[in-house]
Structure 1
Amino acid sequence: MTCQEAAEDVGSMQSAPSTSTRSTSSTSTSSSGNNNSGGGGGGKETASTLLNPSSSAASASAAGLGVHPSSSSPFPPPPPALHHHHQHHHPSTNTAAKPIRTIYPTELAKKLTKCNSKGALQFQSQGPVIIDCRPFMEYNRSHIQGAVHINCSDKISRRRLQQGKITVLDLISCREGKDSFKRIFSKEIIVYDENTDEPNRVVPSQPLHIVLESLKREGKDPLVLKGGLSSFKQEHENLCDNSLQLQECPEGGGASLIPAHLPQSIPTTPDIENAELTPILPFLFLGNEQDAQDLEKMQRMNIGYIINVTTHLPLYHYDKGIFHYKRLPATDSNKQNLRQYFEEAFEFIEEAHQCGNGLLIHCQAGVSRSATIVIAYLMKHTRMTMTDAYKFVKGKRPIISPNLNFMGQLLEFEEDLNNGVTPRILTPKLVGVETVV
């Protein structure tokens, strides 16, 4: 007898159930179907439900889920194991997911102290691989000693990592980190963010969750630092790097290409005061307040356009009507949004360029605000990375030192350029950079 014929026989024997039995049977069948569809598992019952929906009711009835078969049923009751499977299908799916392991700050500190005491070579070969998945500027402000940065702050990188199109190794920011990660076959991997205390509750869109899932797909079993950097730093600040240590990473991309040896403080006052008006490009000059006052020098340089990147300095010689002026009201602070002025400044610079005039861009000292806009302009109009543009400008004017806030905005700008959010303008080519970068 075929399965379908048997199911029809059972249906004929139950052709006149009571009203209450019909209601219960409907509910039980629906519940059974939900369990099968929710689990996606493949037993014989799942297959028969898909092939013949009517047999689902008979199967549910025979399983004792609210409908009792008549004594003349040709089928014996199903084994208890199948009944147990239905009742606990969802919980078994949940328990199958392996919980994320954690490590406490004190435990990690012991590992780091032990490895550091053996020297750098021992640390590289035996120490854990520590992955920081916070935003890049947060990493540069402070991170655990030896931690490598995963650059997944932009949506495109996160999505590609989720889809398995790239791996964690692809997003490690610098060469040293990549080399360390390649040698992790017998190493522990420890991942942290700012302050996650319960990694099993992290939402799927968070970088920490995405990095953990990617590592698991690669067969790794990472640990999460409980409480993140915040907890670790409270107890073990001596094991953190707290100053901006921007490393050059030639193999990286996007925001991983960071200027090497950025100055840790503003240059001395005499250096700033003695700095001269600096030609960055044949038509683009970077200077300070004194340069903006020197009418003779500006006329000698064929400067006809001036950008004043301050809130308080006057527009020198504006009343003479010989300069095209633009003020970008910005302060040199850690809260100033300078990027909002980038496009406006670029258009003004291009206007001067097309008119055959030179342009002076200045703030008070020509160190931070105006230098940031010049770096951004080079990134926009060439294929320079932020590293290249920074080095190019610093090579011309050694005193430049954009504050950390502006450096973060340049990093974000570079990501947008690389991801196509902000288009580059490569024609006409800028004169004066081809032989250098």
Structure 2
Amino acid sequence: MNTLPNVDKSIKSTTTTTTPTTKRAPLTKAYSCSDASPPITTGHCAFITPKQFVEYVFQNNSSQKVPIFDCRSQMDFGSERIRSSHNINCRTKIMARKLTSKRLDEIEPTLSVTLNSSDTVILYDQSTDIRSQEKIHSLPINLVVQAAQKSNKKVQIIQGGLDAVKTEYPHLIECPSEIFKEKYEQDLILPPSSPDAIDKENVVMSEILPHIFVGMY
């Protein structure tokens, strides 16, 4: 007795009546720095070009000083930095904890007068540009942004960071390490023994005692 045709029909009917299964969502997800804080609102944080930065800070006739914060490592800051900037090394764990729990004026008490007199702060890192605006909340510089927002400050981030300012306005970049090196090399230059340079070829040696000579020029 051949029952194969009935079996085939059963398989086909089962296949056609099977409902598609939805893909199960994973129980865990990859952790991102953005999970720790909400995205930056455009009302409190914006990018400015190096030209806008120079016009706003160095070409402004107002007596109000705008705080400039370098958000790179202390080693990078010691190598080169924008003139009149202050370092906040947000990459260290200790400073990161402070930035997440305190206001900016509490972290930098020495700049409290400047911070209190200005409603805006300017931040920069090495090369963050406008294309990073959507992911800025996952970068270390965002910790400084949050601390500034706790102090009710508007945040301006230099587009392209120090690299862009260095390219367009190299005279605004300080290199403390080079200054120290030049000073060190100058200190190694010994002053002459007398105001006039000594001409060794015109020195006349006179023997006053056996094997003892005195030079005269």
Q: TM-score range by the shorter chain?
A: 0.5 to 0.7
Q: Is 1:226 aligned to 2:166, yes or no?
A: no
Residue 102 of structure 1: aligned partner: 47
Per-residue deviation at 1:263? Answer: 7.6
Residue 205 of structure 2: aligned partner: none
Residue 179 of structure 1: aligned partner: 113
Q: How many percent of aligned residue pairs carry the same amino acid?
A: 21
Q: Paired residue for 1:192, among 124, 133, 156?
A: 124
Q: 1:236 to 1:268 in 2, by over 3 A?
A: same
* Rounded Cα–Cα distance in structure 2 between residues aligned with 1:262 and 1:153: 27
Q: Could you tell me whether the CA contact under 8 Å between 2:90 and 2:143 is conserved in 1?
A: no
Residue 97 of structure 2: aligned partner: 159
Per-residue deviation at 1:160? Answer: 2.9
Q: Could you tell me whether the CA contact under 8 Å between 1:109 and 1:239 is conserved in 2?
A: no
Q: Could you tell me whether the CA contact under 8 Å between 1:131 and 1:147 is conserved in 2?
A: yes
* Rounded Cα–Cα distance in structure 2 between residues aligned with 1:108 and 1:207: 21
Q: Which runs of structure 2 are paired with 1:136-155 in the superposition (5 Å)?
A: 136-155=74-93
Residue 4 of structure 2: aligned partner: none
* Rounded Cα–Cα distance in structure 1 between residues aligned with 2:128 and 2:136: 8
* Rounded Cα–Cα distance in structure 1 between residues aligned with 2:173 and 2:57: 11
Q: 1:112 to 1:218 in 2, by over 3 A?
A: closer
Q: 1:156 to 1:190 in 2, by over 3 A?
A: same
Q: Which runs of structure 2 are paired with 1:345-384 in the superposition (5 Å)?
A: none
Q: AA paired with 1:98?
A: T
Residue 194 of structure 2: aligned partner: none
* Rounded Cα–Cα distance in structure 2 between residues aligned with 1:218 and 1:109: 24
Q: AA paired with 1:168?
A: L
Residue 134 of structure 1: aligned partner: 72
Per-residue deviation at 1:147? Answer: 1.5
Q: Is 1:265 aligned to 2:184, yes or no?
A: yes
Q: How many residues align?
A: 154
Q: Could you tell me whether the CA contact under 8 Å between 2:128 and 2:161 is conserved in 1?
A: yes
Q: AA paired with 2:133?
A: P
Per-residue deviation at 1:244? Answer: 4.1
**TM-score relative to the length of structure 2:** 0.58
* Rounded Cα–Cα distance in structure 2 between residues aligned with 1:140 and 1:178: 23
1:376-403: per-residue Cα shift (whole Å, max 9, x none)? Answer: xxxxxxxxxxxxxxxxxxxxxxxxxxxx
* Rounded Cα–Cα distance in structure 1 between residues aligned with 2:148 and 2:178: 26
Q: 1:199 to 1:263 in 2, by over 3 A?
A: same
1:20-65: per-residue Cα shift (whole Å, max 9, x none)? Answer: xxx9xxx9xxxxxxxxxxxxxxxxxxxxxxxxxxxxxxxxxxxxxx
Q: Which runs of structure 2 are paired with 1:376-395 in the superposition (5 Å)?
A: none
Q: Could you tell me whether the CA contact under 8 Å between 2:99 and 2:146 is conserved in 1?
A: no
Per-residue deviation at 1:170? Answer: 3.7
Q: Which has the higher helix share?
A: 1
Unaligned stretches of 5+ residues in structure 2: 1-18, 23-37, 192-217
Per-residue deviation at 1:229? Answer: 0.7
- 2:176 is paired with a residue whose SS is coil
**TM-score relative to the length of structure 1:** 0.31
1:133-174: per-residue Cα shift (whole Å, max 9, x none)? Answer: 111122222222221222433212202321x1x3323443x8
Q: Paired residue for 1:207, among 125, 129, 140?
A: 140
Q: Is 1:169 aligned to 2:105, yes or no?
A: yes
Q: Could you tell me whether the CA contact under 8 Å between 1:150 and 1:168 is conserved in 2?
A: no
Unaligned stretches of 5+ residues in structure 1: 1-22, 28-93, 247-260, 272-437
* Rounded Cα–Cα distance in structure 2 between residues aligned with 1:193 and 1:199: 13
Q: AA paired with 1:191?
A: L
Residue 199 of structure 2: aligned partner: none
- 1:114 is paired with a residue whose SS is coil
Q: Is 1:238 aligned to 2:171, yes or no?
A: yes
Q: AA paired with 2:86?
A: V
Q: Which runs of structure 2 are paired with 1:264-283 in the superposition (5 Å)?
A: 264-266=183-185, 267-270=187-190
